[in-house]
Structure 1
Amino acid sequence: MVDTSRPTVRRLDARSLRGLAHPLRMQLLDTLRSSGPATASQLAVRLGESSGATSYHLRQLAVHGFIEDDAERGTGRERWWKATHQGLRFDDALLSDENPDVRGAAELYLYEVATAQTRDLTTWLGNRQDWSEEWNRCWDMSSATLRLSPKRARELAEKMHELIDAYRTPLEDEDESDTAQVRIHTHAFPFSKE
């Protein structure tokens, strides 16, 4: 159940970006958001890392407010972590920040997001035979090349996000046993002036 008392999407600022812009931290946060609460040891096994590394980076994520203790789980020996937000919003102004460390963190963050999205897609392609025929008929990997102005490209991106947001809430009569987490990636960028 989503906690509606907290914002579901967090806007990254210079300070929080520097706390997140590390490949393992980004993987840890994404795993907690998609798979739910876990311990450092569980995450270490899942991501093929040492529990010492996952523990350190989880604490750093907590310092920057991306995750917190899950008080409903664990014992004195086990510390469970959960994500505090469902998503992140990147501010393009971070790419032109006066501080070179912020610009570097912004570039790293974007690169890691692109890498993770490619990993998600290739994982699906490699495992799609494990899914039902119905799921194999409804997935999509498409591209389109349009001639747009920056204004129309922004409008298109905003409309795509509005459409995705309309699907965040399950239908009242939807059978939960027939659902799965579905990853949606959107990309819109200038390709060629020709």
Structure 2
Amino acid sequence: MPEPQPEERRIHHLDARSLRGLAHPLRMQLLDALRFGGPATASQLAERLGESSGATSYHLRQLAAHGFVVDAPEHGKGRERWWKAAHEGLMFDDALFVDANPSVRGAIDMVMHEIATKHARELSTWLGNRHTWPEQWAHGSDMSDMNLRLTPELARELIEKLHAVIESYRDLPAADAPDAELVRIHTHAFPITKDGEATR
């Protein structure tokens, strides 16, 4: 598969076909491991994730077939095959959320629940380990929730503005400062009933 061009590397837009190619817990773990841990071999990923190298190798090939990962030959030595993430992030095409195909609905539900589980795990890990970080990170972290009364259009506008603010911090010079760390940012926005439930 050809190496994506620089302008294509940022975001992979999920359509119905690529969504079904991603909708497997191990594939999502492999993609995250490559996105956040850098290039690796199937054997290295197997050891990191507690899986067999046969399983990681198979699912890496499936991810490659759907454009999520590519070869990283610059890291290879001999017959080792190295992989790297093809993009920095994922975005769902709006049409996926109204697709009536049961397999698409099942795939999007699976992927969204895996993402939510990962977010909860990351937050729990931070809470369990925050005492090991320098004190200033207590003021450089956040766990907030709030309610706004919005229309779907205003909610979408808010989400887009939040994403734009986050993007504006991506290439700031401070990122090279000695005390700079990789900061994980989650944004969740969804409607709830008056009693706080996300169901009607």
TM-score (norm 2): 0.89
For the structure 1 residues 65 and 174, does the alpha-carbon distance in structure 2 shift closer, same or farther, using more than 3 Å as the test?
A: closer
Q: Which residue of 2 aligns with 1:64?
A: 66
CA distance in 1: counterparts of 2:83 and 2:123, whole angstroms: 26
Shift of 1:16: 0.4
Worse-matched range after superposition: 23-32 or 91-100:
91-100
> Mind listing any 5+ residue stretches in structure 1 that lack a counterpart?
none
SS for the counterpart of 1:140 is coil
| One-letter amino acid of the structure 2 residue matched with residue 191 of structure 1 | I
Please point out which of 23, 26, 44 is paired with 2:25.
Answer: 23
1:193 to partner: Cα distance: 4.6
Aligned identity (percent) is: 62
Q: Name the structure 2 match of 1:113.
A: 115
Amino acid corresponding to residue 155 of structure 1 in structure 2: E
Aligned twin of 1:178: 179
Q: 1:89 deviation in Å?
A: 0.4
Residue identity in the other structure for 1:180: E
Distance 1:20 1:28, change over 3 A: same
CA–CA distance in 2 between the matches of 1:180 and 1:41?
28
Please list, as runs of the form range in 1=range in 2, the aligned pairs for 1:30-179 lying within 5 A after superposition. 30-171=32-173, 174-179=175-180
Structure 2 Cα separation of the partners of residues 15 and 71 of structure 1: 27
Three-state SS of the structure 2 residue aligned to 1:159 is helix
The amino acid that maps onto 1:81 is W
TM-score (normalised: structure 1):
0.91
Seen in structure 2, the aligned counterparts of structure 1 residues 98 and 127 have a Cα distance that, compared at 3 Å, is same
Alignment CA distance shift 1:50-1:174 (3 Å)? closer
Using the TM superposition, name which of 181-190 and 85-94 deviates more: 85-94
Sort the Cα spacing of 1:157 and 1:44 in 2 relative to 1 into closer, same or farther, 3 A: same
C-alpha distance 5-157 of structure 1, shift in aligned 2 (>3 A): closer
Deviation at 1:7, TM superposition (A): 3.4
- For residues 39 and 31 of structure 1, the distance between their equivalents in structure 2, rounded to whole angstroms, comes to 11
User: Distance in 1 between the 2:148 and 2:110 partners?
Assistant: 28
8 Å contact kept, 1:95–1:107: no
For residues 31 and 159 of structure 1, the distance between their equivalents in structure 2, rounded to whole angstroms, comes to: 28
Structure 2 unmatched ranges of 5 or more: 196-200
CA displacement 1:41-93 (0-9 Å, x = unmatched):
21112222222211111111011110011011112332111001000001242
- Given residue 188 of structure 2, which amino acid in structure 1 is its aligned partner? H
Classify 1:174/1:107 alpha carbon distance in 2 versus 1 (closer, same or farther; 3 Å). closer
* Compared CA separation, residues 89 and 47, structure 1 to 2 (3 A): same
Q: Label 1:77 to 1:176 Cα distance change in 2 as closer, same or farther (>3 A).
A: farther
